[in-house]
Amino acid sequence: MEEATPKRTSIRDDAINLPNLLTMLRIALIPGVLFLLWEGTPKSNFWAAILYIGTALTDLIDGYLARKWGQINVAMTNSLSASGSRNFPSTLI
């Protein structure tokens, strides 16, 4: 007996899900971290580190949720998460 694959009603159903929203949040936080690092004060560097840790946690959580909910094969999830995971650390270098 074959297992039925869940039907998706639209591209929006694929695009708007919690793992993708977390990835978009991670990408949106890149300018904030860069601005705080550009400021160069100890306080802004502290907050940049806090934001960076937060983005690392969103990377961990969105990957876990995508695998748990079976959204790992969704093309947008794969490309968006890979983009956020690669671009964020490289912008800091």
pLDDT in tens, the chain (93 residues): 555 555 656 666 667 788 888 888 888 888 999 999 999 999 999 999 999 999 888 888 888 888 888 776 555 555 666 665 666 666 665
Question: What one-character DSSP code corresponds to residue 17?
Answer: S
Q: Cα separation of 38 and 48, whole Å?
A: 10
Model pTM score: 0.65
Phi/psi for 40 (5° steps) reads: 80, 0
CB proximity list for 91: less than 8 A, separation 6 or greater: 30, 33, 34
**Other beta carbons less than 10 A from residue 62's beta carbon:** 26
Instruction: Classify residue 20 by burial, with Cβ atoms within 10 Å: 0-12, 13-18, 19+.
Output: buried
